[in-house]
């Protein structure tokens, strides 16, 4: 543990599944007269801090909203830079997560991602597939509404094929058709940079989740902030 690593506080309860809306990279850069991408770069460092903090605290699942379907509408240069950052990060995670016994997973419209990113993602996922520690789930090209539409389409197909009985449809049927069917619902949602909204994130899954909003901008978010959220 380096001298700057904050001490893990005594926690009465640790969420099984924490989810984070990482917001404020652009504002962080603007405050310093830097290009937005500098904020995203520092944001990528905060991702590693959050993963380390969650792992130290004993969180079992950590979902990170890394790129939304709406984010494709940003200027081309920003999208390209974000994809490059993501690709670099995934190549790092492939070995680093494995060393820490962390399993990487992803949810979203993954086929929308550039081919090189898809390749790095699949390599990191398969390299860590046997890890038995924490699971980190990256939401990429993700939209809660699109996820629900895809679930309803898949339920409709199963009804048509007679694989599902309409009389048996219930909440579990929807759960089982979501990207998140393998994971429990989040117990805690953290959102940085002060906005009080869900931004199309895990709309179904957050029904009973406790929400912690901090005004800290994502690039400034460190292990201490994660532990404060848990407290």
Would you tell me which residues interact with ligand FPP (CB under 6 A)? 22-27, 40, 43-44, 47, 66-67, 71, 85-86, 89, 138, 218
Minimum distance between the CB of residue 193 and ligand FPP, rounded to whole angstroms? Answer: 6
Q: Which residue is nearest to ligand FPP (CB)?
A: 26
Q: For the CB of residue 20, give the shortest distance to ligand FPP in the complex, in Å.
A: 9
Catalytic (active site) residue 71: yes
Bridge partners, residue 68, by sequence? 142
| Cβ-based nearer residue to ligand FPP, 17 or 40 | 40
- State yes or no: is 23 an active-site residue: yes
Nearer to ligand FPP, 23 or 55 (CB): 23
User: Quick one: 177 or 191, whose CB is closer to ligand FPP?
Assistant: 191
Set 71, 112, 187, 200: catalytic member: 71
Rank residues 106 and 155 by Cβ distance to ligand FPP and give the closer one.
Answer: 106
Rounded least distance, CB 97 to ligand FPP, Å: 12
Least distance to ligand FPP from the beta carbon of 75, Å?
11
For ligand FPP, the closer of residues 141 and 209 by Cβ is 141
DSSP the chain: --TTSPPPPP-S---SEEEEE---HHHHHHHTT--HHHHHHHHHHHHHHHHHHHHHHT-SEEEEEEEEGGGGGS-HHHHHHHHHHHHHHHHHHHHHHHHTTPEEEEES-GGGS-HHHHHHHHHHHHHTTT--S-EEEEEEEE-HHHHHHHHHHHHHHHHHTTSS-GGG--HHHHHTTSTTTTSPPPSEEEE-TT----TTSSTTTTTT-EEEE--S-GGG--HHHHHHHH-
In whole angstroms, how close is the CB of 29 to ligand FPP at the nearest point?
Answer: 8
* Residue 41: closest CA among 193, 192, 219: 219
Could you list the active site residues? 23, 71
């Amino acid at each position: 543990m380096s001298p700057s690593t904050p001490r893990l506080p005594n926690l009465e309860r640790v969420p099984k599944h924490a989810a984070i809306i990482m917001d404020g990279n652009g504002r962080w850069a603007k405050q310093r007269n830097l290009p937005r991408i500098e904020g995203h770069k520092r944001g990528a460092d905060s991702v590693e801090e959050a993963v380390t903090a969650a792992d130290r605290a004993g969180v079992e699942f950590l979902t990170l909203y890394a790129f939304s379907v709406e984010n494709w509408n940003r200027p081309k240069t920003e999208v390209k830079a974000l994809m490059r950052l993501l690709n670099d990060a995934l190549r790092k995670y492939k070995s680093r997560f494995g060393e820490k016994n962390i399993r990487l997973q992803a949810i979203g419209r993954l086929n929308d991602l550039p081919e090189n990113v898809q390749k790095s993602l699949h390599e990191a996922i398969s390299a860590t597939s046997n890890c038995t520690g924490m699971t980190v789930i990256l939401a990429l090209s993700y939209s809660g509404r699109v996820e629900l539409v895809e679930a309803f389409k898949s339920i409709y197909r199963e009804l048509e094929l007679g694989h599902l009985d309409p009389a048996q449809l219930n909440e579990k049927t929807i759960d089982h058709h979501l990207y998140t069917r393998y994971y429990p619902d989040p117990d805690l949602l953290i959102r940085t940079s002060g906005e009080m909204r869900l931004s199309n994130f895990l709309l179904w899954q957050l029904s009973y989740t406790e929400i912690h909003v901090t005004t800290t901008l994502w690039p400034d978010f460190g292990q201490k902030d994660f532990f404060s959220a848990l407290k």
